[in-house]
Amino acid sequence: MITKKISIIAGFCAAAFTLASCSDDFLEVTNPTGEPLNEYYTDDQHLSESLTSAYAPLHWPDWDGSAYNDLTCDAEILGDDFWVGGSSISDNQHWHKLFNFEGDGNNTLGTLWGDFYSGIKRCNDVIQYCSWGGGTETNRRSYEMQARLLRVYYYSILWHYYGNVPFYLENLSSPYTATQLTADEIYNNLLPELEEIIASNVLPMRWTAAESGRVSQAMAYMLYAEMVMYQNDSARYPQALTYMKQIIGDSNYSLNPDFTDLWSENGEWCSESIFEINYDDDNAQRDWGTPLHAGGTVFPTLCSPNTWPGGEGWDTGMDGWGFLPMRLETYNMYADNDKRREATCWDVRGYTYTERYQDTHIWHGKYRPQTANCQDCPSSKNLNYNNNKRIYRYAETLLNAAELLLQTGGSASEAASYVNEVRARAGLDALNGVTIDDILNERHLEFCGEGKRYFDLVRAEGISGATEKASVKLVPDTYGYRTNSWTASKKHIPLSQSELDADPTLVQNNY
Amino acid sequence: MSLALIVSMVTRAQGILGTVTDDLGEPVIGASVVEKGNPQNGTITDIDGQFTLNVNEGTPIIISYIGYLTQEVKASSNMTVVMKEDAQTLQDVVVIGYGVQKKSVVTASIAKVSAEDLEGKTRLRADDALKGMAAGVNVTSSSGQPGSQSMIRVRGTGTINDTNPLYIIDGMPADQYGLESVNPNDIESIEVLKDAASGAIYGSRAANGVILVTTKKGKMGKAQINYNFSYGWQTAWKHREVTGATDYAILQNEKYINGGQAPLYADPYNLTDANGNAIKGFGTDWQELLFNDNAPIVQHDVSVSGASEKVNYYLSMGYYTQDGIVGGNYGKSNYDRLTIRSNNNFNIIDATKERNFLNKLDVSANLSYMRVHSTGVDANSTWGSPLGSALYLAPTLPVTLTGSIAEDMINQYAAYDLYRDENGDPYTIPGFIGSYQEQNNPIALMQQRPSQGWSHKFMPKFAIDLQLWDNLKYHFTWSAEQSFWGSESATTEKFYFSGNNNSDHTQASSEKANSTSWQIENTLTYDKEFGKHSIGVVLGQSALKYKGSYVGASHWNLINVNKPYVDYTTGGSVQTTTDAEGHIIGVTSLVSGWAGPYVEHHLASLFGRLSYNYDEKYMLQATIRRDGSSRFGSNNKYGVFPSVSVGWNIMNEKFMESTRDWLTNLKFRASWGKNGNENIGDFRYTVLTTSGGTSNYYFGRQASMVYGSKANGLANEDLKWEESEQTDLGLDFGFWNNKLTFTVDYYIKKTNGMLMTMPIPSYVGETKPIGNVGDMENSGIEFELGYKFNISDAHFSIKGNASYLKNKLKNLGNDTGFLNYGISQFSDGGTRAENAEPFPFFYGYKTAGVLQNTAQAAEYNAKYGSNSNPGDLIFVDMNGDGKITSDDRTKIGKPTPDWTYGLNFDADWKGFDLNVFFQGVYGADIFDATWRQDIASGNYPTWVLDRWTGEGTSNKLPLLKLGDSKNWVCSDIYIQDGSYLRLKNISLGYTLPRNLTKKAYIERLRVYVRAENLFTWTKYWGFDPEIGSSSTSMGVDYGVYPQARTWTIGFNLSL
């Protein structure tokens, strides 16, 4: 009896042994939240998703979890319209160092590099997925072309700041390094690519309202003009002028009648807008722990006074960090009747708050914080203002066209008429004729605080007849803040030490 | 009831009556008593230790019982036999994984910590119990926060990846959370398999050592009931020295003046705070306010155990609760744990006397349960943690604001409900008064409702042991770990602490997760002696599966802040804002939820072990295990892990006979083996899609979020486990009948194919892939020494261990041979991995003093082309290129100690017992990263007072200067000696005389007083030299939550 029982148990155990023995099936597990790439990127929907992810890095630089490298701040601290500010000279120290032209491998725009190379990598992926032939041809062509144009844009920012950067159009595999090209080589690679994109004519001049945010043919034209003019590449001026005139001739684009309204939520993607980086507070997923998620921007928080007592549409208790105080001289450069002053300069002389470093009581008006602009975000409000970052607008098309006309010996009166269109909106009298300096000055007034001034000053070095240029304007100030002068070697900021460490073949810029 | 059965079985009518006791006079139940030469005539002792045997007086009888020396005595009427413990069999068995082995024939390097070793020491957590107890096992407390896990390293840092050992609790693999569930009072022994030969039986998971935890069983005899109680008071053993109000003001003024700005304080000796009150003395002592002195720690343990021939049981319940020394008094750093264990083994059939096949069947069913409640504060962080903030907030800053400035602050933050003290004064928001970045008012932080974490863990086990034939045994186990954990948190006020720590709405959230691991194992073992040959074979199979899932939700706007539940919130899932004309212009989601499965982990294995010894003189053991893991791609699904070890008991040789009167034991051991580490995360070999998160973007004038997707990384299909190969040589000595024992081991352990994130530039634009690229080498010597002696009635025992470790990164696997890991706030150095150096080490500039005057500065500048001024640091031109550049950065220290040691001293005399336990490390450095210089208003550690203020004032620290990016870079000025010696434990106990307690039916009553961390000798100026942060930030002090100094009283009661 007992023996029988024990035999049954032994039999049961033997069965358990067999059942539990290993098999390959047992070792296969599936990932609950991911699909193989070659199975997934085979239809319009999924290709479109990959393209969306290629746009995402556009919104990262203002706060990417490591550093604040907002595109406006990065450019304006190098220029002559703003101070750096912040709580002290050690707050966001890399800006203070770059402001005084004494950056180094540890005090540079390190993370901007990483953010936009992520963009480049994602664009390369989209282009590869499209080459697999999934989805409809029309959509696929559009996705591919958007990715190519976006990729040129990402490279152009790196090219502006760093000049000599690693360049690749297909994603890297082992040993994961790319050749560093000189700034001129980068330019010579990007321009033909840009010309090919434009020639393909795949992208619309303007996207529908629901698709606003995508790169368009007009955006390609603006990027083309910007790069050509920054390179002082006169051979391409006629082509750039043609592109500007195409935008001017397009009924989709015109100046927004009211300059102040341009900077409101209503002014986003108005008829004047050619390209913006989209931020929003509605359903923002961005928070301090998820900086790369879609949401609003921290820029209005960065560039606003600390301990604001409330008023001007910005409630008490809202957070301001005191970066980018506007120079008094910048306020004063506007004529009293220039309507742009009120929108550009947020004059809070008369308000009392805790002053931070280099405070002037005049702040960046175009992106000044408004409680209404962040109140809908479900997470940290100071990180989620809905202000889109304006990159290209029609006013620049006009001023580009005017400048290119002068450079190519075109009609001077036509050039003046473009400038006067911009001036008229500002409430200023028309000029009879314009010089290069007039145009640069108009750009200064029109685009103050939009990250264009510094690059205008640098390229003016290569424009004959221009007096508003870097070597003249970017010199020690009377306040003792900037003690060093800009020189040609400062055109390209230092590469990050960490990247030089990771890829020893990289050559540091001679800053 | 089982006991009653036994009693009825052994009752006999007539014969010789006798009693069997142990040397304490306790009855020995179940001892076998047989007539010599007539095995049929036998019996066993009953519950009182009595037996009746039908023999004549003077007949030799044999009395035997497991764990005692077998005795042969002549039968006499009413005889009493006193059994002596067989010290050899009791102590000299070690658990080796799928079996036990006599210590005398062990050929591998295994450290054992027994329940006796832990007697008299604080035993709150199983991981802490190992601290200082075994050579080669380095246990570092990660923080003093209640419930925080210790960092355990077996023979050094074996890899730059997960370097935690494998924990096996009664045969079931567990992680450190599993280990937490074991009440240390339930532990019978902990064995640490240190070398590869012993670990190889656990194959692909053993590369970082294996820790085997065996829980208690009942002991033959009557039921034992134990109750232990202790109550302790914990206090921070030291505060960090920071400057008081006047020194702070002086330093601030100096910093601003040197930085070209106006001084902040007109008269540092006559300061007024923001409320307009004169500041007296130190000012606000934030640490004093924050630290919770005399925080209680209470422990209760009760266990009942016993055994008979048929049944063996051990039942226990433990409860332990601890308040933290930071925040424990506010319910912010608290921990309580309830554990229940039931170990039961039943002998179902025993027919060993009748036949030699299918003759014995044992079944055991065990269950353990743990429940934990915990809250915690952010620790070891310079980004606004309570302790971190307490270090940076100025002593001039008042805790609360009063009067008009309070009104101003309230108006400023009108949208928020500011926390107030008992007088109704709002707690100061540091950012309102000065520039403190993310720092918070730590006292205000304490007012906030804590997030409550909880967990339940069940660990059932069912096992069958069947004797198949002769000595061939079959063993089956099914064991599992079922865990449930979660947290409840709520924002019950619209709080404001700092710019990035505030909320303008209330909210409740709740999260739950569960996981199940099960393991089935079948093993066959065969042990047999043929003359002087002894062999043992183990063959087995194992399959393991882990799976789990999580779910959580949150919702805004509580209806009643005292009922902060997700479903009790003002309805609706969205909130809309409208413009003047009533058009919706904004939408906010008020509710969110998340749920999903965790990635499963499967492991399928086969293993075998052969042990052989000849006359206990020559030993050989060989092991092999084949593991298949779901964590690897099809290229590398399976791994095979072999090992072999040999031993030679030199003492058992004839030629050693002459020395036996003083040399009792001499054994030589040698082993080699290969182990793996599969703890590398899931799906790392392939690239899949990932959606949402960082792929989303807004499109459209109305900005609607569009979901994106992308590749989740860069692939490496050839990814496989890390492999470590280890050779161990050991010698065991025993002198004077093992009164003095000495063991020495030398090992060299090489980790090959170490998995790491490939150190490629970030311009690849994606999360960097991992590869089997690195090699690491650890080598070392370990010593263990034991000495026991008696002086009349007093017994003394000394146990010491020391280990020397040399860690070297052989090959990082990238082109450059190095990789930098940052230390927050330093961009130009930190920790670093580099070939041929220990991993990790501190990397930065070497300094050679401070430039004292303009002449010296001019000379320095001329030499190095720099523009330094007096008061600036002199950096050493390490590469001799005549320039001070980033290429001059070098090794400035290392966090891993050269020596780790423990010394344990026990004494007892007439009921008194004393335990003194020291533990320490030597040759470790600490990088003090606690001072955030970017916080303009921040307070200073007092060592900053030694800064340079003029010629001859300091030749170590530079001048203070606002916006200085030249001097306070990552350099050796932050490196401190991290060596320490700690009086970890000292306890004095007294056991009341038994004849006294017996009257109250008490077997044993011991009362004791104990102190933990009573003294620490260290040069380190921070909170605690013990900083157990994980691999790359090892030894970096961000303001660690210090260990408490604890005074405890308690008693142990046995019935």
Chain A positions touching B606 (Cβ under 8 A) are: 22
pLDDT in tens, B801-816: 999 999 998 887 766 7
pLDDT in tens, A259-311: 999 999 999 999 999 999 999 998 889 998 899 999 999 999 999 999 898 89
pLDDT at site B395: 96
Beta-carbon separation of B708 and A56 below 8 A: yes
Task: To the nearest 10°, report the CA torsion of A467, A469, A471, A473.
Answer: 90
pLDDT in tens, A155-181: 999 999 999 999 999 998 878 899 999
- CB of A81 less than 8 A from some CB of B: no
pLDDT at site A7: 61
pLDDT at site A20: 46
Chain A positions touching B435 (Cβ under 8 A) are: 87-88, 91, 356
CA–CA separation, B641 and B691 (whole Å): 38
What's the first-to-final CA gap in chain A, in angstroms? 94
Mean pLDDT, residues A393-411 taken together: 97
Between B679 and A141, residue with greater pLDDT: A141
pLDDT in tens, B755-775: 777 778 899 999 888 778 788
The candidate with the shortest Cα–Cα distance to B290, out of B377, B232, B231, B374, is: B377
Mean pLDDT, residues A21-39 taken together: 81
Nearest Cβ partner for A32 among B520, B599, B711: B599
What confidence tier does B9 reach under pLDDT thresholds 50, 70, 90?
very low
Total residue length of chain A: 511
Nearest Cβ partner for B476 among A13, A51, A59: A13
pLDDT at site A52: 97
Task: To the nearest 10°, report the CA torsion of B988, B993, B998, B999.
Answer: -110
B4 has pLDDT over 60: no
What confidence tier does B7 reach under pLDDT thresholds 50, 70, 90?
very low
Task: Pick left, alpha or beta for residue A405 (phi over 0 → left; psi -120 to 50 → alpha; otherwise beta).
Answer: alpha
B936 has pLDDT over 90: no
Chain B residue at shortest CA distance from A26: B602
CA–CA separation, B201 and A73 (whole Å): 60
pLDDT in tens, B979-994: 999 998 999 999 999 8
SS3 (DSSP) at B784: strand
Task: Assess contact for B177 and B164: CB atoms under 8 A.
Answer: no
Chain B residue at shortest CA distance from A316: B412
Strands across the sheet with B975-977, in order? Answer: B975-977, B925-928, B1036-1037
What percent of chain A stands above pLDDT 70?
A: 95
B618 has pLDDT over 70: yes
Chain B positions touching A3 (Cβ under 8 A) are: 358
Nearest Cβ partner for A376 among B586, B696, B758: B586
Task: Give me chain A's average pLDDT, please.
Answer: 93
Task: Assess contact for B147 and B129: CB atoms under 8 A.
Answer: no
pLDDT at site B532: 92
What Cα–Cα distance (Å) separates residue B735 from each residue in B651, B792, B800, B804? 11, 21, 16, 24
Q: Which of A37, A40, A287 to mutate to test the interface with B (most CBs of B within 10 A)?
A: A37
pLDDT at site B1029: 66
Consecutive H or E run containing A229: helix A217-230
- CB of B811 less than 8 A from some CB of A: no
ipTM: 0.94
| Least-confidence region, from A407-421, B753-767, B957-971 | B753-767
pLDDT at site B13: 42
Task: Assess contact for A120 and A155: CB atoms under 8 A.
Answer: yes
Mean pLDDT, residues B677-701 taken together: 88
Nearest Cβ partner for B589 among A87, A378, A502: A378
Mean pLDDT, residues B42-61 taken together: 85
CA–CA separation, B834 and B817 (whole Å): 6
CA–CA separation, B840 and B828 (whole Å): 16
B849 class by beta-carbon count within 10 Å (0-12 exposed, 13-18 middle, 19+ buried)? middle
What confidence tier does A4 reach under pLDDT thresholds 50, 70, 90?
low
A14 has pLDDT over 70: no
SS3 (DSSP) at A94: helix
Chain A positions touching B697 (Cβ under 8 A) are: 52-53, 55-56, 58-59, 213, 278, 294
Between B49 and B989, residue with greater pLDDT: B989
Beta-carbon separation of A282 and B709 below 8 A: no
CA distance, residue A213 to nearest chain B CA (Å): 5
Task: Give me chain B's average pLDDT, please.
Answer: 89
Considering A14-28, B110-124, B828-842, B870-884, the range whose residues carry the highest mean pLDDT is B870-884
pLDDT at site B726: 94
Task: Assess contact for B918 and B1000: CB atoms under 8 A.
Answer: no
In B822-956, which ranges are continuous DSSP H helix?
A: 854-864
β-bridge mates for residue B459, sequence order: B368
pLDDT in tens, B427-447: 999 999 988 988 999 999 999
Mean pLDDT, residues B21-29 taken together: 76
pLDDT at site B1: 36
pLDDT in tens, B316-340: 999 999 999 999 999 999 999 999 9
CA–CA separation, B793 and B910 (whole Å): 7
Total residue length of chain B: 1055
What confidence tier does B800 reach under pLDDT thresholds 50, 70, 90?
very high
Task: Assess contact for B772 and B740: CB atoms under 8 A.
Answer: no
Chain A positions touching B694 (Cβ under 8 A) are: 53, 56, 292-293
Mean pLDDT, residues B122-136 taken together: 80
Q: Which of A278, A389, A500 to mutate to test the interface with B (most CBs of B within 10 A)?
A: A278
pLDDT in tens, B272-291: 999 999 999 999 999 999 99
Chain A positions touching B432 (Cβ under 8 A) are: 307, 354
CA angle, residues B887, B888, B891, in degrees to nearest 5? 110
What confidence tier does B186 reach under pLDDT thresholds 50, 70, 90?
very high
Mean pLDDT, residues A328-351 taken together: 96
Nearest Cβ partner for A49 among B474, B683, B708: B708
Consecutive H or E run containing A21: none
Mean pLDDT, residues B1000-1010 taken together: 91
B53 has pLDDT over 50: yes
B515 has pLDDT over 60: yes
Strands (E), B288-398: 295-307, 311-323, 334-350, 357-374
- CB of B415 less than 8 A from some CB of A: yes
CA–CA separation, A172 and B742 (whole Å): 57
- CB of A29 less than 8 A from some CB of B: yes
Task: Pick left, alpha or beta for residue B203 (phi over 0 → left; psi -120 to 50 → alpha; otherwise beta).
Answer: left
Nearest Cβ partner for B414 among A9, A290, A317: A317
pLDDT in tens, B461-471: 999 999 998 88
Mean pLDDT, residues A322-350 taken together: 96
pLDDT at site B660: 83
Token reading at B355: 């036949």
pLDDT in tens, B712-769: 888 777 778 889 999 999 999 999 888 999 999 999 999 888 877 777 889 999 988 8
Token reading at B621: 């053991």
What confidence tier does A230 reach under pLDDT thresholds 50, 70, 90?
very high
Chain B residue at shortest CA distance from A53: B695
CA distance, residue A1 to nearest chain B CA (Å): 12
CA–CA separation, B664 and A19 (whole Å): 50
What confidence tier does B1006 reach under pLDDT thresholds 50, 70, 90?
very high
Q: What is the residue type of A292?
A: L
Beta-carbon separation of B688 and A31 below 8 A: yes
Chain A residue at shortest CA distance from B410: A317
- CB of A316 less than 8 A from some CB of B: yes
pLDDT in tens, B379-424: 878 888 999 999 999 999 999 999 999 999 999 898 899 999 999 9
Beta-carbon separation of B604 and A283 below 8 A: no
The candidate with the shortest Cα–Cα distance to B728, out of B743, B711, B708, is: B743
CA–CA separation, B251 and B264 (whole Å): 10
A1 has pLDDT over 50: no
Q: Which residues contact B385 (CB under 8 A, 6 or more apart)?
A: B377, B378, B379, B1039
pLDDT at site B965: 76
pLDDT at site B305: 94
pLDDT at site B72: 86
